[in-house]
Amino acid sequence: MITVNNRDKLAWRAGMTVRDVLTTMNYTYRLITVTVNGILVPKEQYDTYQIPDEAQVTVFHLSHGG
Amino acid sequence: MFSRNVPGMTEILHRATVGIAGCGGLGSNAAMLLVRAGIGGLVLVDFDRVEISNLNRQFFFQQDIGKPKVAALAEHLRAINPAVKLTLHEVRLSRETVAWTFAGCDILIEAFDRAEAKEWLIEAWCAAYPDRPIVCASGLAGYGRSAAMQVRRTGTIVIVGDGVSDMGEGLCAARVMLAAALEANEAIALLMERKQKGGIS
């Protein structure tokens, strides 16, 4: 089981990637920042970065303005 | 100058340096708040010049129009505390220049306006300095909805803002300032925490 944004629980499976989580959670925002257990996952690793069981995954949406 | 500061804070902040990536609505106001808090040094980076449309939310004045933002901001910050150490870079920051530009910084404040730039800045900073915090903002447009402003932390990343609102709906000083104040406040808290853990000499 993994936890997304301190709230949603997802069943874990071996080989699960960041992309799998984003797809399952139906996150469609293009500009996001993802961390797994507090470590930033670079965008180019979303398809390959494997999430360990019991992981805390955080997905932040980045919006324009500053 | 800092006799009314929280006890113990002045000595720690005096020895700290914070990077400010972008000197617009977020960066100019966060920098001002950090200088008032007694920060020892700031590294200010912005390629832009002050325009009249900036004055609705940024820490600039009519006489600044046309000046480089980093130079105008430095003048205002020194008018608050002449002893603050400022390093100015009037350049357009890129993913490749993040590491050396902010090499001397204990913490980085992300203060860009474009979300794409926020994204690469976070990636570049975390890759270069995985143990140093970055404080970012996402979602500060519009007005009202004060309670929607959140502070979320994961690892060394802090993100303030509502996470949703976009500058397409317009930017108002009061709400931009809320986000800038949250960024400055979190940076101060992180510096105090790191000192307690022995992170800052």
Domains of chain A: 2-61 (3.10.20.30)
Which pLDDT belongs to residue A29? 81
Residue B199's pLDDT is 62
Chain A contact set for B111 (CB, 8 A): 66
For residue B78, is it within any domain?
yes
In a domain, B164, yes or no: yes
pLDDT tens for residues B59-109? 999 999 999 999 999 999 999 999 999 999 999 999 999 999 999 999 999
* CA of A33 vs chain B CAs: smallest distance (Å): 7
SS3 B6: coil
pLDDT of residue B189: 98
B155/A61 CB distance under 8 A: no
pLDDT at position B201 over 60: no
**Structural domains counted in chain B:** 1
Range of the domain at B73: 9-196
Residue-wise DSSP of B126-154: HHH-TTS-EEEE----BS--GGG-EEEEE
Does some domain include residue B66?
A: yes
Kindly state the average pLDDT of the residues A28-46.
93
Q: Which residues 34-53 of B are in CB contact (within 8 Å) with A? A: none
Tell me the two tokens of residue B201: 């000499």
Domain assignment of residue B33, yes or no: yes
Higher pLDDT, A17 or B195: A17
* DSSP per-residue string spanning A11-52: ---TT-BHHHHHHHTT---SSEEEEETTEEE-GGGTTTPBPP
Give how far Cα A23 sits from Cα of A15, A28, B196, Å: 15, 8, 40
Q: Chain-centre distance of CA A2, in angstroms? A: 10
pTM of the model: 0.95
User: Does A3 contact B at CB distance below 8 Å?
Assistant: no
Please report whether residue B2 resides in a domain.
no
Instruction: Confirm or reject contact between A66 and chain B (CB < 8 A).
Output: yes
Q: How far apart are CA B71 and CA B50, in angstroms?
A: 10
Taking residues B5-14, report their average pLDDT.
95
What CATH number has the domain bearing residue B143?
3.40.50.720
Q: B128-182, pLDDT tens digit by residue? A: 999 999 999 999 999 999 999 999 999 999 999 999 999 889 999 999 999 999 9
**Residue B191 within any structural domain of the chain:** yes
Q: Average pLDDT over chain B, rounded to whole? A: 96
- CA distances (Å), A2 to each of A13, A21, B187, in order? 10, 10, 29
What's the confidence (pLDDT) of residue B120? 96
Q: Would B201 be classed as within a structural domain?
A: no
- Confidence band (pLDDT; 50, 70, 90) for B31? very high
Q: How sure is the predictor about A45, in pLDDT bands with cuts at 50, 70 and 90?
A: very high
Is-contact B29 B58, C-beta < 8 A?
A: yes
- pLDDT tens column, B147-160: 999 999 999 999 99
Res. A28 pLDDT band, cuts 50 70 90? confident
CB A34 within 8 A of CB A40: yes
Share of chain B above pLDDT 90, in %: 95
